[in-house]
A and B are shown apart, each in its own frame.
Chain A
Amino acid sequence: ETGVTQTPRHLVMGMTNKKSLKCEQHLGHNAMYWYKQSAKKPLELMFVYNFKEQTENNSVPSRFSPECPNSSHLFLHLHTLQPEDSALYLCASSHKQGNGYTFGSGTRLTVV
């Protein structure tokens, strides 16, 4: 492990389900990120949290809802997703925003 842990590693969900992705880091980093990786748009920024405050929402649909209860934990709550939301969701953290990311291993999400 890299110091950034994501669970679950794989997730299959129906379009009416509600699920959550979890990311945890104990590197002492202050910034955490969600990225979506798909064949069409590799490494697409979704959300940024800096010192627990959301600083960027990159025009993400409301069916994705982030939560950052503290500097070490980041969640992505999912509801009523579409098949096109199937992708690898990567969490990353860094000491300061935009600098030296450490990525988690990702959650491979399949929406059926």
Chain B
Amino acid sequence: GENVEQHPSTLSVQEGDSAVIKCTYSDSASNYFPWYKQELGKRPQLIIDIRSNVGEKKDQRIAVTLNKTAKHFSLHITETQPEDSAVYFCAASNSGNTPLVFGKGTRLSVIA
């Protein structure tokens, strides 16, 4: 089955700096890669996703890149703000066929 590894487990950045979180996956059949943000005491929320036919996707300060050959994908947050502080999870699936498998999460702290 699919295995998703996520690094780093914790990340601290200064406000205004960029943050990068990286994930690798094992199943070459996976074709859907979402990222979720979970604030303290709240539910995970989808912030961006990418499919295997696309190499990069951007939404304002958030971008995701995918390298299918290397089986890794990354989340990039630019101009970080204190409200970006949360736990971020990456995930992978074969859309329509298998459930999402999540990474172990990255706790991001943005220091004002």
What is A's interface to B at a CB cutoff of 8 Å? 2, 31, 33, 41-43, 45, 48, 56, 90, 96-106
Contact = CB atoms under 8 A, between A and B. Distances in A.
| A interface secondary structure, majority | loop
Interface residues of B, number: 24
Nearest to A105: B43
13 contacts: A41-B104, A42-B87, A42-B89, A42-B105, A43-B44, A43-B105, A48-B99, A96-B96, A98-B100, A100-B34, A103-B36, A105-B43, A106-B43
B95 interface: yes
- Which 5 A-B residue pairings sit nearest by Cβ, starting from the closest? A98-B93, A43-B102, A103-B43, A99-B95, A96-B96
A105 B39 CA distance: 11
Nearest to B96: A96
Contacts of B42: 105
A100 B42 CA distance: 18
Contact of B98 (A42, A98, A105): A98
B97 interface: yes
